[in-house]
Amino acid sequence: MFLTTIASLHIGELGYISEESFHEIPLKLLEMGCLPGAEVELIQIAPLNDPLYICVNGSHLAIRKETASKIQIIKANE
């Protein structure tokens, strides 16, 4: 288990949003389901490597890399 951000996930990989740093998550994303403890899956990366298409808590969202790098997640070791 180690700490990283959504921005460093590869397509198809999963992680869990960290409980500690939830106040770093923009309110809007929190409201759309990016809650501490929730499972995040990276579904697709747009051409030019930005934005990212994720699925979290049943919501399918596109967010920019800049935002994604602010959301800490816990990822299982390979």
Partner 1 sequence: MSKKNINVALIGNPNTGKTSLFNQLTGLNQKVGNYPGVTVDKKEGNTSLTGDLKAIVTDLPGTYSINPTSADETIVLKSLLNAKHDKTPDVIVVVADVENLKRNLLLFSQVKDLEIPTVLVINMADQMERKGISVNIDVLKEEIANEVVLVSVRKGEGITEIKNAIVKSYESKKATPLCSINHKIDPAYFDRLKELVPTYPLYELWLMITQDSFPDAISEEEKQKIIDFRNDSKNLKKFQHKETIYRYQKINEILKKAYVVDRSKATDLRARLDKIFTHKIFGYVLFFGLLLLIFQSIFDWASVPMDFIDATFAKFSSFVKGQLPDGVLSDLITDGIIPGIGGVVIFIPQIAILFLFIAILEETGYMSRVVFLMDKIMRKFGMSGKSIIPLISGTACAIPAVMATRNISGWKERLVTILVTPFTTCSARLPVYAILIALVIPDEKVFGFISLQGLSLLSMYILGFVTAIIAAMILHKTLKVKSTSFFVVEMPDYKLPSPKNVFFEVLEKTKAFVIDAGKIILAISIVLWFLASNGPESYKNAEQNVIELAENQQLSQEDLDQKIASAKLENSYIGIMGKTIEPAIEPLGYDWKIGIALITSFAAREVFVGTLATIYSVESDDDDTSTIKERMAAEVNPETGKARFNFPVGMSLLVFYAFAMQCMATLAIVKRETKSWKWPLIQLFGMGLLAYVSSFIVFQILS
Q: Return residues touching partner 1 (CB under 8 A).
A: 22-23, 25-33, 35-36, 43-44, 46-51, 53, 57-64, 67
Structure tokens at 35: 């809650």
Compute the least distance from the CB of residue 78 to partner 1, in Å: 23
| CB of 43 or CB of 74, closer to partner 1 | 43
Compute the least distance from the CB of residue 2 to partner 1, in Å: 24
Residue with tokens 């990212």: 52
| CB of 15 or CB of 17, closer to partner 1 | 17
Going by C-alpha positions, the residue among 2, 3, 5 that lies closest to residue 54 is: 5
Using CA atoms, how far apart are residues 68 and 9, in angstroms rounded to an integer? 10
Compute the least distance from the CB of residue 4 to partner 1, in Å: 20
Going by C-alpha positions, the residue among 17, 12, 11 that lies closest to residue 74 is: 17
